[in-house]
Structure 1
Amino acid sequence: MAEILVAYATKSGSTREIAEVIAEQIRHASHEVTVLDAADVRSVEPYKAVVLGSALYAGRWRREAVKLLMRNEKLLARRPVWLFHSGPIGPQQVPQRAPRKVREIAARIGADEPATFGGRLTSETAVGFIAKKMAGSSLAGDFRDWDDIRLWAYLISERLVAAR
């Protein structure tokens, strides 16, 4: 069984790709990592640490990520947890606050405010009427900063190594 869980909740696959890059970076520090869709995680009990990310739409986390937090709150409070969300698009991105419920749970489990990473919106990946309309505008594109994502994951791996 892997020692680190990287779980994600995504709509069009962008957050899954971010989770995979985070897992890859943590593996470079010789950690065993499992990457799972948040909807497939029943318990975090087998893991020593958890990284959880969600797509952020209209200021909301995906339901499956919030359910994972709520269902495992007591277990998460006893292990290191890092949170992230992705979704800001367009040339002028600003860090986004997590929804109130996520902030409250994060505070109770001792996790920091989620890191914000840019999202991706293209005509090929857009799901739903509004997203498809936005994909034809100046907001379309891939705004994920892979260097920033890898640095954040590297800092996690360093903290995990120090905790050994």
Structure 2
Amino acid sequence: MADREPRVLIAYGTKNGSTAEIARHLGEVLAKEGCAMTVCPADEVGVDVSAYDAVVLGGALYAGRWHRDARRFARRARRDLATRPVWLFSSGPLDASAPDREIAPVRGVRRVADRIDARGHVTFGGRLDEHARGFTARMIVRSGRGGDYRSFEQVTAWAEGIARDARSAVSERT
């Protein structure tokens, strides 16, 4: 049987849209690398992810916690996620540290990674601007600590690695 495009789901939890932009960029890179893509909010994905060969799940970080929609999706789909390759990402540090060093996942993300045997996790820088929702977010921006700390070069490199792994996983199964 000939190799086929890996079908990859990217699900994400976001509050102010920055994580959604990262997810869409991941999807664009994976599509360019030969994957059939679906990118959507985690709260719109059902329990059954059997139509996908691989899953990327991401969530924004707020006060050291992964976005609620990402956590809930991981819990709902845990059985299906444990049977396929899964990668996790977080977005959130409001400084330039993310591209320069590996940032360990927060406790809740580590727990998800262990339960589903995730193949990897990365923390990307976050973005918080004057349009941010929430009292705390607005206070951070007003104090001058907001900004855009995402590195789309880092996102691209990570996505290219996932594409290679997803193609290999599909080839092994066919």
When the two structures are superposed, what TM-score results if normalisation uses the length of structure 1? 0.91
2:141 is matched with 135
2:13 equivalent to 1:9: yes
1:114 is matched with 121
Which one-letter code corresponds to 1:157 in the other structure? A
Identity across the alignment (%) = 43
Which one-letter code corresponds to 1:102 in the other structure? V
More displaced 10-residue stretch of structure 1: 71-80 or 89-98: 89-98
2:36 equivalent to 1:32: yes
2:81 equivalent to 1:68: no
| Aligned residue among 132, 157, 162 for 1:151 | 157
Q: 1:81-92 to 2 correspondence within 5 Å? A: 81-92=86-97
Q: Relative contact order (alpha carbons < 8 A, sep ≥ 6): 1 or 2 greater? A: 2
DSSP-derived class of the 1:30 partner: coil
More displaced 10-residue stretch of structure 1: 12-21 or 88-97: 88-97
Whether contact under 8 Å (1:5, 1:50) holds in the other structure is: yes
When the two structures are superposed, what TM-score results if normalisation uses the length of structure 2? 0.86
Whether contact under 8 Å (2:66, 2:108) holds in the other structure is: no
Q: Which runs of 5+ in 1 are unaligned?
A: none
Structure 1 position 139, deviation (Å)? 1.6
- Rounded to whole Å, the distance in 2 between the matches of 1:107 and 1:24 is 28
More displaced 10-residue stretch of structure 1: 110-119 or 73-82: 110-119
2:88 equivalent to 1:77: no
Q: Which runs of 5+ in 2 are unaligned?
A: 1-5
| Aligned residue among 90, 100, 104 for 2:107 | 100
C-alpha distance 60-3 of structure 1, shift in aligned 2 (>3 A): same
RMSD of equivalent CA atoms: 1.7
C-alpha distance 145-59 of structure 1, shift in aligned 2 (>3 A): same
DSSP-derived class of the 2:130 partner: coil
Give the aligned length. 162
